[in-house]
Structure formats: C-alpha cells, structure tokens
Amino acid sequence: MMKRRNTRHRAFDPDPDAPERCCDMHGCDQPAGYRAPRSRDALNSYFWFCLEHVREYNARWDYYRGMSPGQIEAHIRADTSWNRPSWKLGQGKAAHTFSEEDLLDPLDLLRGAAKARARAARRRHEEDRRMDAPQALKYPLGVLDLGWPVSMEELKARYKDLARRHHPDANGGDRRAEERFKGINIAYATVRAHLAANPGREDMARTA
C-alpha cells in the first residue's frame, strides 16, 4: 500500500520563502531558514537566521526596549483600538442625538426600559408630593402610590387600576396578591374617609 505523504508544515521547519543564503549572524555559515523583524519600526523588514540563531535573537527581543513607561502605556492604548482614533463619550462623530427609533427593537426592550424609568420618575414625584400630606395619610398614600393633594377622582381611578392588577382572582389566588389587595383596600378606605370628612377645609374632595 502506498503511504500518504504528509505535506503538513511542521513546527520549526524552515520558512519556504527563505532566501538561499547564509545566516545573518556574523560568522555563521548555516543556511538562513528563519526570519525575524529588524526592529519595532521595521516589522516587515527581516533578518534571516539559522534555527539556533533565530532562537537566540528571539530570546533577546524586547519590542518596548528604549521606550519610557508613558510611551509604552500610550502604545498599548493605541493597540487596543487598532490604532484608530477614538473620542470621549459625547464627542467626535458619535456626538449626535440618540433616538431609540434608530435601533431595531422587536422585543420592545428599549421602550420597556423607558417606561420603567418613567414610572420610577413618577414615583419619586409622588413621594415628594406626599411630604406635605397629613401624617396619618402618608403611609396609605404610599401604598396607593399617590401624592398630595389628591382629588377623589384621582383616588378612585388609582384604586380601580390597583384592584384590577392585584385582585387575587387575577393572580391565580396567589396569597401575596391577596395580602397586597387587602392593604390597598384599607389604604383606599382611609384616604377616602379623610377626603369625604374634609371637603371644605382642604378642598380635596370632589365627589364623583
């Protein structure tokens, strides 16, 4: 049976493009089969050595030789961006107004995040408004996520929204939803009773 010839290049084989000449190391008459860059400023210009002397040359090679620590750091930073220019955030060509419409968002992730930020901003606003509420109403208003002052219409609308979302029947009978719904009912009753009892003095109750 004919043996298949292995044409795979083996480690330490001479470079097939090596010139037919002797090693560049002074006094060496061995064939030059291995190349090595002359300097960091001439990486495409080569010395040609025999295997012994290319190993010796590579062992002594220091790409950053002669450079200061600052120059080395700057060089490494440039290499990380493939020596292409970069700008600080908000500068250069990238300094244009970003629009969510510029991106394809089939899962509505960006809009969902924007809605979450809007809800958080509204909660902070309502928290600030609750600072002036009567002490007895601060906790119930917090449960309902309402600010102060609040009208009867606003109170009823928020209650309907929370009741729809947290009713046990809408949550598969979940016990935590049931407890949350009880707290919402108590908070609603407390604030509603206060508004109904003080319609003229605080001008907060506008009965539907």
54 class by beta-carbon count within 10 Å (0-12 exposed, 13-18 middle, 19+ buried): buried
Task: Kindly report, residue by residue over 134-172, the tens digit of the pLDDT.
Answer: 888 888 898 888 888 889 999 999 999 988 888 888 888
Task: Provide the pairing of β-strand 34-39 with 42-49.
Answer: antiparallel
Task: Kindly report, residue by residue over 21-77, the tens digit of the pLDDT.
Answer: 899 998 999 998 898 898 888 888 889 999 999 999 988 888 778 888 878 777 777
Residue 166 · residue 176 · CB < 8 Å: no
Query: Would you say how long the chain is, in residues?
Result: 208
Q: Is the whole model's pTM more than 0.75, yes or no?
A: no
Task: Kindly report, residue by residue over 112-135, the tens digit of the pLDDT.
Answer: 667 777 777 777 777 777 777 888
What domains lie within the chain, and their CATH numbers?
A: 15-83 (no CATH), 117-197 (1.10.287.110)
